[in-house]
Structure 1
């Protein structure tokens, strides 16, 4: 019976995905869109707030107009961009006289009336375009959560997922001269979405990352992957996929290393590539070596900056390029404390990385969703190892095939976008998901299979919960997904939730079931900057600092402890945090305040990482 139910579940998922593909004109994510010539559509977009979805659904039966096709009892759907040609017409909206929002940027912190808004908001942008005969992709960095996209009054498609990029082929809908795009952005929290109803971060809505037009030839390089083979580090292996089926010849060129490898695609448009790795210097945090890699086919070429490394576990140790390392990390949200809203610029990412560098960190955990592509590319340049994650978080509906499909779509897009980034070493499929749901293990295990099908050169893990025997002061990790993970990763808050820091020193960890590295993906405590008090005063800097010092003593007693990303680099906004005069809508676990001031624990962590850097020092000899 269990096998039958599993078969039915997977059949439903496959049929749902097929149905969505049939209804939706989304194209496979263009690899390296970041470096393609493009026309940015950023700037001021007109907007209309639509909490009742008047411009999207028939109010009598709640069916979307673009599915119904008949709206005689309603004003014209907003995506038609109707105008009053004469005084008798009844049109109940007007984009041209509506206010504007900046794109990219969430809508919540641009207008006071939108601060806590969750629902539908319409965006409108006009632009001029000269048709060239090329293929034209309309590329979105991210829209939270569902985006319905219309070009010149016709639906181009939709996308669901608040943090992953997506692109459409807009060639046939663009016209010579003036064009317009309308986007319906819906950021409502729903039980079947990913994440679900509850998070511990702000639900920023709208077009939060850049929008652009990317011109491509009729046949172009659609995707590629170039990594050192973890099973045979003397080889670089990968593939190139072109946009049209059929035999195509091309080359992979790394001029600095004297590498020029020809390839020929098969009937499906895909070519497997392989060449010796001996001419390539390895990428390290201390020496983040990147190569200019050019891929060329007849009529198209794309240039990328790629680093080459291996990451593996050997028993309880982690090895980068054969060197035993300790992961000196920090967790980070995509949020600039000085500027309200979702962070999206390169300068913001550089500021956050600068603070991580001050800590002597060599790793950043990008929590709890894929961050802007600026960040992994900067991590490649500046030498940070990365943990990347999708928002399978807290109350996910593990029994819903639709929810599973949302999770799979998001993790596949994350891996697809960043699989050529040297900095990435962990694909995380979840954070703090409860073990009591029997479908949860199957859900996460299937996600792992999807990731492995795309990339097997990095670790797969999840931030798990620990099991605590409070009477015997013993911690175990009983989550069955720990067995499926390359490194055992847990969030632990002894001394903050359920106890004081004096309990930390009495606690022992029993990890005899796990012969692999232990990674503490979170620990920490809240502290308001410059709040005075002794070490027992909650929300004081002294309490937070005491907890950090006691935690380090405990962790260093664990034989397989090989790294951590404490929670969190900077205070961040959360509607769940309502303690007046202390939290005021902020999660205060940051080592840096919302005004950029460093708390005591910042310097305690830096001192600890300085010692770990000496303990795990190695020589780069390639």
Structure 2
């Protein structure tokens, strides 16, 4: 008879989240795809608020990461928040209110349901954010334009400025920008955001994408807001693409940038820059009023310093645009853009193995979620640095996430030599029927595009994954989506590797629709979940299934993208949910992976615990929802015994093997 758990993690979960023991339910990592029924009423915010402030501030925060345009300003200082449980904000015109009655004080980023544990809190609600501000007078001219950038709003965002609706965006993990055409250059401006993370489709809306179900549904401003001044010209869609045809040879660097003329007259545009110490000259071109052009240049880098986990060499890239109007005698520098990137070769070899700079890749990695005890998904840079230290301590050289990670974390990965598996969230367990619906496909392809445009300069991103745990036997709709999304990635980033994570089930057989995928990731829960009809209950079936995958896909790279077991108590090694079971589970699976020299890598799911839906069981007879407890490290950074098993194995593994070396 399983014993009720008695341990610190359980106490923490109860104290922080009000969780009670719940019966075991079907796992999100199994292929049920079932979501809880809609709640009877929305939940009030659980994040602590302060008294509202009517103070009007001048945003002055420095950007949290390097890549981007000059003149970016973090919108810091006090914000206002207002819950809208009855969806009354639009008819009551919350977007045009000047008073603070009904509003609470907060900061941004902030998600409103940190610490929530109820079904209602998970199912989502509506919240409003407001920022009253003035522009910095010393940095503002009459002809300037301003743009607002939202790093991430979960899930449906509607934006107003000074009572005027500017636009909308769907999707919680990719950035979007809007021009501010009615900005008051001298007076007070009021920026208002309506965030809607409801999972239930609102009445009257026939069809609409919903937030993914595999992790806690945080609502609101998950990431920062920036303002950016535009003086005549704006630089966007900057892509710097190094190509290394031969390891040991020269690299060709192709740089592209889109220049937009925001003036009412033609401008003679010059664009120049540097890649490291080498000059970049895009030439000059007349750009008509209100139009955009994309400029391209190339340079050769001889004897390049290559980026790798062992030596993450980076090059600083700086672009500067000049503008010269019809009545001006010379050009004036008006726009700049800065980034870091690296030169490396990452390909799938003819034998179906990943090769980084000519070395065979056998990475060992972990998966993460952006989650903290105090701030939920609205992490700060200190949180991200702590998480990266933990990743590095584990001996990992790759991190996987179900969504594009914060740009600051990706910058850390670039600088510290950590590969990333970047995935879009909207296709998580997306059904064949939904893949055939226009609005779901549109959102998925939008997320692919936004991820690539925002993050394609990062050398750390090894794989661009187009989905996770869709049907393991794809139908016509999934096959079409895989082709379309892979084509989109290669159009935006010709040297990118396209990935897909799928649930491992032996009866699925070989899938011809996986042909567009470069790196296939198998989610391995042999010996943890039972699967359909017990098809993955026996862990001894893992070894022959891995061989079956190799036989099916001899020319594609194959990795294990998930494996893991819940643990929250001491107990017998044969009892699921005990630390002893988890420790032995990790050791067994690592040994199985090590026996397959063709396997490109493995990822433990997940390094750290995170919040998930309140009915979560995860295969554990005594779960403690809403905490997902496959993590080897708790949310308070205390470690479970299995962490040391993984750490010892990872640190002893030779993860990058030079060509011609003996196999290990």
TM-score (norm 2): 0.77
Pair 1:607–1:616, CA change in 2 (3 A): farther
Partner residue, 2:359: 323
Partner residue, 1:170: 180
Pair 1:261–1:198, CA change in 2 (3 A): closer
Contact residue 241 and residue 255 of structure 2 kept, 8 A: yes
Pair 1:144–1:197, CA change in 2 (3 A): closer
Determine if the alignment matches structure 1 residue 393 to structure 2 residue 428: yes
Per-residue CA shift, 1:586-614, capped at 9, x if unaligned?
11110112331222221221222223227
- State which of 292, 298, 312 in structure 2 corresponds to 1:274: 298
SS of the residue aligned with 2:648? helix
Higher relative contact order (CA 8 A, sep 6+): 2
CA distance in structure 2 between the partners assigned to 1:219 and 1:506 by the alignment:
58
Partner residue, 1:363: 398
Pair 1:361–1:33, CA change in 2 (3 A): closer
SS of the residue aligned with 1:177? coil
> Which stretch of structure 1 is more off in the superposition, 223-232 or 513-522?
223-232
TM-score (norm 1): 0.82
- State which of 254, 266, 269 in structure 2 corresponds to 1:248: 269
- State which of 540, 546, 561 in structure 2 corresponds to 1:521: 561
CA distance in structure 2 between the partners assigned to 1:140 and 1:567 by the alignment:
29
Partner residue, 1:218: 232
Contact residue 109 and residue 115 of structure 1 kept, 8 A: no
Contact residue 240 and residue 273 of structure 1 kept, 8 A: no
Contact residue 228 and residue 277 of structure 1 kept, 8 A: no
CA distance in structure 2 between the partners assigned to 1:577 and 1:171 by the alignment:
46
Pair 1:340–1:303, CA change in 2 (3 A): closer
Partner residue, 2:453: 416
Determine if the alignment matches structure 1 residue 128 to structure 2 residue 134: yes
* Unpaired stretches in structure 2, ≥5 consecutive residues: 1-64, 202-206, 323-333, 531-535
Pair 1:477–1:230, CA change in 2 (3 A): farther
Pair 1:112–1:482, CA change in 2 (3 A): closer
Partner residue, 1:577: 616
CA distance in structure 2 between the partners assigned to 1:253 and 1:572 by the alignment:
42
CA distance in structure 2 between the partners assigned to 1:587 and 1:199 by the alignment:
13
* Superposition map of 1:389-538 within 5 A: 389-391=423-425, 392-396=427-431, 397-434=434-471, 435=473, 437-469=475-507, 478-498=510-530, 503=540, 507-508=544-545, 509-510=547-548, 511-515=550-554, 516-528=556-568, 531-538=569-576
CA distance in structure 2 between the partners assigned to 1:154 and 1:614 by the alignment:
54
> Which stretch of structure 1 is more off in the superposition, 235-244 or 104-113?
104-113
Contact residue 242 and residue 254 of structure 2 kept, 8 A: yes
SS of the residue aligned with 2:604? coil
Contact residue 137 and residue 168 of structure 1 kept, 8 A: yes
Pair 1:438–1:502, CA change in 2 (3 A): closer
Residue 236 of structure 1, CA deviation = 1.4
CA distance in structure 2 between the partners assigned to 1:617 and 1:363 by the alignment:
18
Residue 460 of structure 1, CA deviation = 0.3
Residue 55 of structure 1, CA deviation = 2.3
CA distance in structure 1 between the partners assigned to 2:461 and 2:253 by the alignment:
17
Determine if the alignment matches structure 1 residue 263 to structure 2 residue 302: no
CA distance in structure 2 between the partners assigned to 1:242 and 1:502 by the alignment:
56
SS of the residue aligned with 1:46? strand
Residue 172 of structure 1, CA deviation = 3.2
Per-residue CA shift, 1:412-433, capped at 9, x if unaligned?
1111111111111110010001
Contact residue 545 and residue 601 of structure 1 kept, 8 A: yes
Aligned residue pairs, count = 548
Contact residue 236 and residue 277 of structure 1 kept, 8 A: yes
CA distance in structure 2 between the partners assigned to 1:102 and 1:612 by the alignment:
44
Partner residue, 1:107: 112
Residue 551 of structure 1, CA deviation = 1.2
Residue 581 of structure 1, CA deviation = 6.3
CA distance in structure 2 between the partners assigned to 1:481 and 1:385 by the alignment:
27
> Which stretch of structure 1 is more off in the superposition, 450-459 or 495-504?
495-504
Determine if the alignment matches structure 1 residue 44 to structure 2 residue 78: yes
Pair 1:219–1:35, CA change in 2 (3 A): closer
Partner residue, 1:377: 411
Pair 1:222–1:198, CA change in 2 (3 A): closer
CA distance in structure 2 between the partners assigned to 1:583 and 1:304 by the alignment:
43
Residue 177 of structure 1, CA deviation = 1.7
Residue 278 of structure 1, CA deviation = 1.3
Determine if the alignment matches structure 1 residue 612 to structure 2 residue 628: no
Partner residue, 1:333: 369
Contact residue 501 and residue 546 of structure 1 kept, 8 A: no
Residue 293 of structure 1, CA deviation = 1.2
- State which of 114, 137, 152 in structure 1 corresponds to 2:147: 137
